[in-house]
Amino acid sequence: MSIEVLTLLLLACILVSFALGAPVGLALGGIAMAVGYMTWGEGIFTLIPTTIESNFFSFILLAIPLYIYMGQLLTRSGIGDAMFNASQMLIGRIRGSLAISVIGVCSMIGAMVGIIGAGIMTSGSIALKPMLDRGYDKRLALGVIMAGGGLGILIPPSIPMIMYSATTQNSVGRMFIAAIVPALISITLLVAYVVISCKMNPEKAPLDTGDERQMSKPEKLRTARDGFFSLLLIVAVLGSIITGIATPTESGAIGVVGAILLAVLFKRFRFRMFQSAGFETALLVSASMWIILGASVFSNFHMLSGVQNMVAQFTQDLGLPPIGVIILMQVIMLLLGFIIDELIIVLMCAPLFAPIVVSLGYDPIWFGILMILNIEIAVQTPPYGFALFYLKGIAPPGVTMMDIYKSITPFILLKLLVLIICMLFPEVVLWLPNMIMGEG
Amino acid sequence: MFKMLLRTCCVAINRLVYCTGLSASLLMPFLALTVAFEVFSRYVLNAPTIWAYDVSLFLFGYIAALTGALAQQKRSHIIVDVLYLAVPDRIKALFNLLTYSLAVFFLSVIFYMSLGKFEEAMEFDYRRQSEWAPSMAHFWVMMMVACTMFVLQFVSDMLQSSYFLFTGQRLMPETDGSSSENEKVTNNESAIKNGNVSTGNEVKGENA
Amino acid sequence: TLAVSASMAMVPNAFSAEHNWRFANLYSRGTAYGEVYQNFADNIEAMSGGRIKVQMMYAGEGVGQTGILGSVKSGLMTMGAPFQAMHAGEFPPGVVEVGLPGTTSDVGELSALFHEKGWNEVLTEAYGKQNMVYLEPYIQLPVYVLTKKPINTIEDFKGMKIRAPGAYGKFLRNLGASPASLSWSEIYTSLATGVIDGSIGSNLIDHRDGNHAEVAKYMYRLPIAGAQTLPIVVNNNAWKKLSPDLQAIVRSASAAHAREQMTKSRVWESQAVADMEKKGMKWSPEPSKEDVAGWNGAAESLWVEYANADKYSKQLVQILQK
Ligand code: NA
Ligand code: NA
């Protein structure tokens, strides 16, 4: 079977099994092993142990349980709410203010985590409930979380950027600095969108219910204190990374310990709360890891069958003009975001595309940032994308996949806009690193 | 009588899976503590441990793998429910039978390969490649247990779906996997979930 | 240049040869080392007149770096170029094979060790036990340690937190440093923020590729291991299917590959050093006699420890000590 036919067959199987409501990870793994058995024979099963080892013994993925746990502890102890309540005392009279605070918090979380899954699940744990509690439009709330949580790989530190730099032999520091302006543009556009769309559809974001203003003075003080300390926790976690106490992965554990200490300090610690946070975290971690395992088995099988050769050949054979090649690469990565996570897209596409891009005369750092922006979109595009699954995992019962698709559409368009801006005006990406580090 | 037998079987499986998953979830604080201890040990004591790295990875693996079956029981695994939510319950039951079979196939392969890996690990004394070099054999045993629980849970879910498909009646009204209203699994621990996710009902109300 | 296009031609008719092999290596597509392995694969095809087709699997394409040995053993990959330090838990003698701290860097001595003194025989048996055929060893570059602060005497290593796995970590602990475990992709950030004070790299090229010199400038002059010898392994079942003449062809292609590794590695190492020096990397001052003695002393106690890992390690170390 040629790789083209195999790819189509795999895609068809995915579409059917997903439509029938199969558990995503197990279906991906099952399809790969079933098709693999028919085309390769029993030998393909030996793919499984090495794939299990590379996923379950990945220290980078450890950020997922640690950050989800921190988020769950903050939410269940009420400290997470306190942060947003306090923000409402300050800017509650601006329509959409809560969503804006959420974007702010997501940006800070983005500066702590280096992978998509940890970014979205932490943001979702902390910020989704306060928005829904205050009667925010479900779609606005979900979309903001997805867009904000996705910033985790654009705001340094970012594991995909480190992987890109290593496979293409570019400066990580330069890459981190190059991402700053695109990240700021993304944040600004997100805030602008929230403000404008809430102005146009006031029912999306109810103004504060006045709870904060009707509070007695001691209550207000208490809210302000709790809010201040919870913000301080986030600053402390960030600080532990910047001052070299912990790596980005480990900082999640510092956040967990900090959240427990805060809960005890504020007399919000209940053993049941503690237990249920662990319980819920375990379920979310399990759901994520079984998807990651199944998807890795799938993509490993697909690569063993030579999909990377097909992609490389396809890119070269069309005889497109240089910018056409760049655009085609973006489209290919968007399509790959269908079924594989951000780390595998980088691992597969960086070495395939970067040499071509450089030979066409483009700057590899610029292309790297485009790749990161693209991946951020790719993992969020319907029908199937990794980040969608993470968001579904964290969303309360009753939120359907369709809700999620509809919620993210405007935010995807915003991110696409950032991608196009950076593609058309390379200076947006390259200006800052060139200024700080000199011309590359 | 037959119904009673089936129901007893499903209840037993659900309880077993619940206990295994709950035990695994109790490891969560220890995972965070292990990583935090390594940071403390390295930064404050200037003496990084040789064991924390591997212990944290093992705990991570145990939690993620062993909770899998429980996550299925509680319908926490992600599905793309676009078409699924739109079809009648009996069709859902049919869909479940098909997709769960695929899942069971995959899990059986994992079980089979883990068994092979375990035998190898015993024969050649496989260890982690770190300085501490703990044994790997227990990890593959754990994977086999995780897959067994997972398959058992699917068997329970498939029994319930088949029963509903053929009789049009629920075997166990509360935990039936073919219902779209099953997000709230009324188990003894459901209070943990419901009590704390206050938004659940609001969102659902909006949906209904 | 498009390294990619070179590998394209053979893929469409991958199923037309007598033997279809998959060859896994540690490097990415388009990298200089990746090309050396590609040449090896092409050579097997050319020398066998197309009877053996070899499909190259680069880093992360199907199996991860830690999965190479296991995948050759199981037959998922026909042939592999593993880095043995990553497989210490599965194949203990590999750690001795790759080069314990303090072993020689002299190419002649190394060659004698393998070809005349009996290492080849021991390794052939050890790999054979795990269903693999051991081909010609090839020599790669030494392991160096990079630090944020200059090292003027080996005393300066005391108390330093250095990312160094396995045997290298034990060696540094003997010098008074604190070895730490970190994932490779967090080394850069950790050096930048000061989580660690230094890191080893599997060679100088690895330090360059990880951009570590941007955030840690000082390279210690003494290598931890003088040279690394790496194996090429083939799945035993696939090997048995080859006729004797094809087996001989694969072996001679493997010898040619070893020569190419040797010559090109040195060139690339000096390029990597030049690249890093341009970014501000500095070598430590020439170590004193006492430092060299202390350095070697730290290594010797390790040999005994690793000899006790299993029976093949013991045999290798015994030969080494002769
Ligand atoms: Na980040
Ligand atoms: Na997608």
**DSSP state string for A41-56:** -GGGGGHHHHHHHHHH
Predicted confidence (pLDDT) per residue in B6-15, tens digit: 999 999 999 9
Dist CA A3 CA A8 (whole Å):
9
Angle at A117 between CA A115 and CA A118, to 5 degrees: 70
Please compute Rg for chain A using Cα positions.
22
Task: Say what the pLDDT of residue A212 is.
Answer: 60
Dist CA C44 CA C40 (whole Å):
6
Which of the pair, A137 or B193, is modelled with greater confidence?
A137
Are β-strands C79-80 and C19-24 bridged in parallel, bridged antiparallel, or unpaired?
A: parallel
DSSP A94: S
Provide the CB-side half-sphere exposure for C31 (13 A, CA).
24
- Split at pLDDT 50, 70, 90, the class of A349 is confident
Q: Span B172-194, mean pLDDT? A: 41
Average pLDDT, chain A: 86
> Residues 152..181 of A with a Cβ closer than 8 Å to C: which?
157, 159, 162-163, 165-167, 169-173
In the block, tokens 């593993």 appear at: C82
What phi-psi label fits residue A233: left (phi over 0), alpha (psi between -120 and 50 degrees) or beta?
A: alpha
Q: Span A106-115, mean pLDDT? A: 83
CA of residue A400 to ligand 2 center, whole Å: 17
Dihedral angle sign, alpha carbons of residues A430, A433, A436, A439: negative
The β-bridge partners of C235 are C132
User: Residue B208's closest chain A neighbor by CA?
Assistant: A398
Q: Which residues contact C274 (CB under 8 A, 6 or more apart)?
A: none
**pLDDT tens per residue across all 322 residues of chain C:** 233 333 333 333 445 689 999 999 988 777 788 889 999 999 999 999 999 999 999 887 888 778 899 999 999 999 999 998 889 889 999 999 999 988 888 888 998 999 999 999 999 999 999 999 999 899 988 999 999 999 999 999 999 999 998 888 999 999 999 999 888 778 888 999 999 999 998 889 888 888 888 899 999 999 988 889 999 999 999 999 999 999 999 999 999 999 999 889 889 999 999 999 998 999 999 999 999 999 988 988 888 889 988 999 999 999 988 8
Which of the pair, A127 or C134, is modelled with greater confidence?
C134
What is the phi/psi pair of residue C19, to 5°?
-125, 125
Dist CA B161 CA B93 (whole Å):
5
Dist CA B182 CA A425 (whole Å):
50
Kindly determine whether residue C85 and residue B129, on different chains, have CB atoms separated by under 8 Å. Answer: yes
**DSSP state string for C221-286:** SS-SBS-EEE--EEEHHHHHTS-HHHHHHHHHHHHHHHHHHHHHHHHHHHHHHHHHHHTT-EEPPP
Residue of B38, B119, B131 to mutate for C, most C C-beta atoms under 10 A: B131
Does the structure show a pLDDT above 60 at A382? yes
In the block, tokens 């594989």 appear at: A340
Dist CA A246 CA A250 (whole Å):
6
Dist CA A391 CA A386 (whole Å):
9
In the block, tokens 């028919």 appear at: A38
Amino acid identity of A363? D
CA of residue A122 to ligand 1 center, whole Å: 12
What is the phi/psi pair of residue A302, to 5°?
-65, -40
**Residues in chain C closer than 8 A to A58 (CB atoms):** 183
Least confident of A51-65, B62-76, B103-117, C107-121: A51-65
Question: If we measure between CA atoms, which residue out of B187, B25, B191 comes closest to residue A280?
Answer: B25
Question: If we measure between CA atoms, which residue out of A99, A84, A82, A93 comes closest to residue A210?
Answer: A93
Strand extents, DSSP E, C25-173? 52-57, 79-80, 132-134, 138-140, 144-147, 161-163
Instruction: Tell me how far the alpha carbon of residue A384 is from its chain's centroid.
Output: 14
In the block, tokens 């080892």 appear at: A53
In percent, the amount of chain A with pLDDT more than 70 equals: 96
Predicted confidence (pLDDT) per residue in A269-310, tens digit: 899 999 999 999 999 999 989 988 998 898 889 888 888 778
The answer to whether A321 and A277 are in contact (CB under 8 A) is no
Question: If we measure between CA atoms, which residue out of B181, B151, B154, B166 comes closest to residue B3?
Answer: B166
CA of residue A147 to ligand 2 center, whole Å: 14
**Residues in chain A closer than 8 A to C189 (CB atoms):** 157, 162, 241, 247-248
State which of A11-20, B151-160, C66-75 shows the largest mean pLDDT: B151-160
Q: Nearest ligand, CA of residue A161?
A: 1
Task: Say what the pLDDT of residue A164 is.
Answer: 85
The answer to whether C192 and C159 are in contact (CB under 8 A) is no
Nearest residue, CB atoms, A22 vs list B24, B99, B139:
B99
**Residues in chain B closer than 8 A to C190 (CB atoms):** none
Dist CA A71 CA A391 (whole Å):
14
Helix (H, G, I), strand (E, B) or coil at A23: strand
Does the structure show a pLDDT above 90 at A9? yes
The answer to whether A404 and A352 are in contact (CB under 8 A) is no
Dist CA C44 CA B41 (whole Å):
51
Please name the helix (run of DSSP H) or strand (run of DSSP E) that holds residue A161, with its range, or none: helix A159-168
Q: Nearest ligand, CA of residue A110?
A: 1
- Split at pLDDT 50, 70, 90, the class of A209 is low
Task: Say what the pLDDT of residue A208 is.
Answer: 60
Does the structure show a pLDDT above 60 at B176? no
Strand extents, DSSP E, A242-298? none
Please name the helix (run of DSSP H) or strand (run of DSSP E) that holds residue C219, with its range, or none: strand C218-219
DSSP A153: G
Q: List the structure tokens of C57.
A: 């699997």
Task: Say what the pLDDT of residue C167 is.
Answer: 86
- B62 close to A (CB below 8 A): no
Task: Say what the pLDDT of residue B201 is.
Answer: 29
Question: If we measure between CA atoms, which residue out of C9, C1, C91 comes closest to residue C56?
Answer: C9
Question: If we measure between CA atoms, which residue out of A149, A143, A152, A158 comes closest to residue A126?
Answer: A149
Which of the pair, B190 or A400, is modelled with greater confidence?
A400
Are β-strands C282-283 and C218-219 bridged in parallel, bridged antiparallel, or unpaired?
A: parallel
In the block, tokens 């010609």 appear at: C136
In percent, the amount of chain B with pLDDT more than 90 equals: 72
Provide the CB-side half-sphere exposure for A431 (13 A, CA).
8
Are β-strands C218-219 and C144-147 bridged in parallel, bridged antiparallel, or unpaired?
A: antiparallel
Task: Say what the pLDDT of residue A134 is.
Answer: 83
The answer to whether C77 and C24 are in contact (CB under 8 A) is yes
Dist CA B104 CA A115 (whole Å):
30
The answer to whether C262 and C111 are in contact (CB under 8 A) is no
**Residues in chain B closer than 8 A to A62 (CB atoms):** 35, 56-57, 60
User: How far from C45 is each of A274, C71, C283, CA to CA, in Å?
Assistant: 61, 22, 43
The β-bridge partners of C200 are C145
Task: Say what the pLDDT of residue A97 is.
Answer: 84
Q: List the structure tokens of A431.
A: 């200006």
Task: Say what the pLDDT of residue B186 is.
Answer: 34
Q: Span A11-27, mean pLDDT? A: 91
Average pLDDT, chain B: 84
Task: Say what the pLDDT of residue A210 is.
Answer: 58
**Residues in chain A closer than 8 A to C195 (CB atoms):** 244-247
Q: A233-252 in b/e burial notation, b at 16+ Cβ within 10 A?
A: bbeebbebbeebbbbbbbbb
Which of the pair, C15 or A264, is modelled with greater confidence?
A264
Which of the pair, A118 or C197, is modelled with greater confidence?
C197
Residue of A42, A47, A48 to mutate for B, most B C-beta atoms under 10 A: A48
Provide the CB-side half-sphere exposure for B177 (13 A, CA).
33
**Crossing angle (nearest 10°) for helices A138-150 and A97-112:** 30
Dist CA C178 CA C161 (whole Å):
5
- B123 close to C (CB below 8 A): no
Question: If we measure between CA atoms, which residue out of A243, A240, A175, A247 comes closest to residue C214?
Answer: A175
Helix (H, G, I), strand (E, B) or coil at A204: helix
Q: Which residues contact A129 (CB under 8 A, 6 or more apart)?
A: A75, A80, A81, A396, B197, B198, B199
Task: Say what the pLDDT of residue C6 is.
Answer: 33
**DSSP state string for C84-121:** GGGGTTT-THHHHHHH-TT----HHHHHHHHHTSSHHH
Task: Say what the pLDDT of residue B206 is.
Answer: 28
User: How far from C112 is each of A127, C98, C109, C164, C251, CA to CA, in Å?
Assistant: 66, 15, 5, 29, 18
Q: Span A168-178, mean pLDDT? A: 82
The answer to whether B197 and A72 are in contact (CB under 8 A) is no
Least confident of A174-178, B199-203, C220-224: B199-203
Q: Which residues contact C127 (CB under 8 A, 6 or more apart)?
A: C91, C133, C134, C231, C233
Helix (H, G, I), strand (E, B) or coil at B74: coil
Q: Span A341-366, mean pLDDT? A: 81
Task: Say what the pLDDT of residue A202 is.
Answer: 83
> Dihedral angle at the C-alpha atoms of C191, C194, C200, C204, nearest 10 degrees?
30
Least confident of A380-389, A414-423, B66-75, C292-301: A380-389
